[in-house]
Structure 1
């Protein structure tokens, strides 16, 4: 009996110590969010890619991201979208799988393709990639691509991020690699393919006109993960590329170019941040800008110091752990143009392997 009691007491002490330690860690992260000068590592146990964060009018941040189907606990060949929400960017709650492919005609078609000879990746699942949930005009507009080469756009019925979702394009949205939405006043644009933009109807029921190719004046932006923000009267186009210009060699970086019109012309490609590939900028409740970051590498995580010293040309490297990393950024007007400044030194400058000279 005494041994049983002692064991129970030990378990209680361990639990209390663990809760105290977690609370202290969360408090440190909350302070880091407030200080806005260093990267903050969050959601340590969550496998994710391509995180996108939206601050909604209800005061919650909503995070959508690429998840493995095994994380979603869906029976093959189903795919789906899991969403998380948070009041403070530190403590996140899963809303579960808000939608899965069996719930729509588009998704059912992806399931059929996944188990057919048309399967594009030899994975018999309809995986949803890079979902972004945008709150626009009192509704949620969700765009995403898939491992089956097709994309989709969905609309919520109201202000809650939940079923039912309408699919205004049916199965005809088309192929749009890493689609994102940019609102230029009341006018919505679809950004994709690193980079094209296409105007959408205000009710998202269709396109207006043909796609417009955009990008830096001096070279190709990259291959994926495009996004646009407007700072003052300047449009800032972000895009993703590997630092060596060779797939999965070097570091997965974010670059940018600016223009006076959303359709361009854009000026030369500039360096935004190292290890920030497919990062999406967002503004927090304090008015501070952050960029999302995540693990994308073929090697174990490096320290910031090692990444500065080592030769990183042979394969893919990162300093981002699995989970979500938030990196503080800011936008400044310098000589009439927008300059993107990354405030954490580990992300702020190109590596030795960078092929473009800045």
Structure 2
């Protein structure tokens, strides 16, 4: 009779999973509140892109597959000597943003350009010190471009890897070679005219040649017209300090970037901001607020044209309850309401009559800046 009990338990588990997935699908359809779409992985900087095969692809900063997902690893912040950040790009795919299938690890640091060029650094550094951060996947032409940052084992050993076929798999070529070094949080943008741009740091941009082997001209700094008030009393240019990317919405170029609400490292909430320009090289207008707890998120449109932003756990303590969060001052530490995993937060993106773009999170717990926000909004 034991097998009957096991089957019964499995059936109950399947029903529960189906119920949970149904709730996620319903919440995504309503496009009103934040939705936790994947809660079984440790992830930072989640990135979602729609592939040419009509699947959404998800990647991000992750631990290695063999690291057990438990209370010990769940809220590891990924920083410092206790970091559990791995050295592989892990990928999931989904047709509906609710049901995710693991694709595997199509790339790891041993597959990269720097492993070929500086093998001794890899050989002499334990894999526990290899860390691959903030990978992104882009479809350019009929190839995949995989790009990421990394602090080791080669310092500044970021990679821009290009597939040799339509499939997201080895082998890769590395068209930029040494030019891919020292790119913090690199991102790609392909304009409607086909031109491809590389974006990194806070914020540098350069156009790439069609084969992505060279820069066209010198990298340029782009930033909002307004300055940020820093803790030392100085005002500085910049959209934030990391997680920058560019999208084209309507006829405008939108620069997104990430910063802590207090403009101090790991103090307050990790937020997403934006600025708008008529040309990708600027000048950009004032820094505006997208949402609280959305730092290093990916704004993207789903198949139905709805806008979302990925969100993730980034704090020094477990996530806060959402009750009264809109009026809670978070300036004494790093806090979030995001649970571990991937949360999708609905965005309202408006193209105004004058052509300007207005972007804001729809869920009020993300849409309203907290009292710890130093920028006047």
**TM-score normalised according to structure 2 size:** 0.87
Output the CA distance in 1 between the equivalents of 2:332 and 2:119: 36
For 1:28-43, what aligned pairs fall within 5 Å after superposition? 28-43=23-38
Range with greater deviation from structure 2 (330-339 or 30-39): 330-339
- Among 353, 367, 371, the alignment partner of 1:348 is 367
Kept in 1: contact 2:272–2:295 (CA 8 A): yes
**In the alignment, does 2:367 pair up with 1:336?**
no
**In the alignment, does 2:190 pair up with 1:180?**
no
Kept in 2: contact 1:178–1:225 (CA 8 A): yes
SS of the equivalent of 2:129 reads coil
Kept in 1: contact 2:204–2:219 (CA 8 A): yes
- Among 145, 149, 157, the alignment partner of 2:149 is 145
**Which residue in the other structure is 1:286 paired with?**
304
How many residues are matched?
Answer: 347
**In the alignment, does 2:305 pair up with 1:252?**
no
**Which residue in the other structure is 1:310 paired with?**
328
Seen in structure 2, the aligned counterparts of structure 1 residues 111 and 96 have a Cα distance that, compared at 3 Å, is farther
Kept in 2: contact 1:100–1:107 (CA 8 A): no
> 1:194-215 CA deviation, whole Å, 9 max, x = no partner?
2111111112122111111001
Mark the runs of 5 or more structure 2 residues left unpaired by the alignment: 69-83, 228-237
Seen in structure 2, the aligned counterparts of structure 1 residues 257 and 104 have a Cα distance that, compared at 3 Å, is closer
- Aligned alpha-carbon RMSD (Å): 2.2
Output the CA distance in 1 between the equivalents of 2:91 and 2:40: 15
For 1:1-358, what aligned pairs fall within 5 Å after superposition? 5=1, 7-69=2-64, 71=66, 79-107=87-115, 112-113=120-121, 124-148=128-152, 149-185=156-192, 186-219=194-227, 220-334=238-352, 335-358=354-377
Output the CA distance in 1 between the equivalents of 2:324 and 2:288: 24
Seen in structure 2, the aligned counterparts of structure 1 residues 347 and 123 have a Cα distance that, compared at 3 Å, is farther
Mark the runs of 5 or more structure 1 residues left unpaired by the alignment: none
Kept in 1: contact 2:349–2:359 (CA 8 A): yes
Output the CA distance in 2 between the equivalents of 1:124 and 1:22: 34
> 1:153-194 CA deviation, whole Å, 9 max, x = no partner?
010111111111111123442211100001112110011112
Output the CA distance in 1 between the equivalents of 2:282 and 2:9: 59
**TM-score normalised according to structure 1 size:** 0.91
The structure 1 segments of at least 4 consecutive aligned residues displaced by more than 6 Å after TM superposition are: none
Shift of 1:150: 2.5
SS of the equivalent of 1:177 reads coil
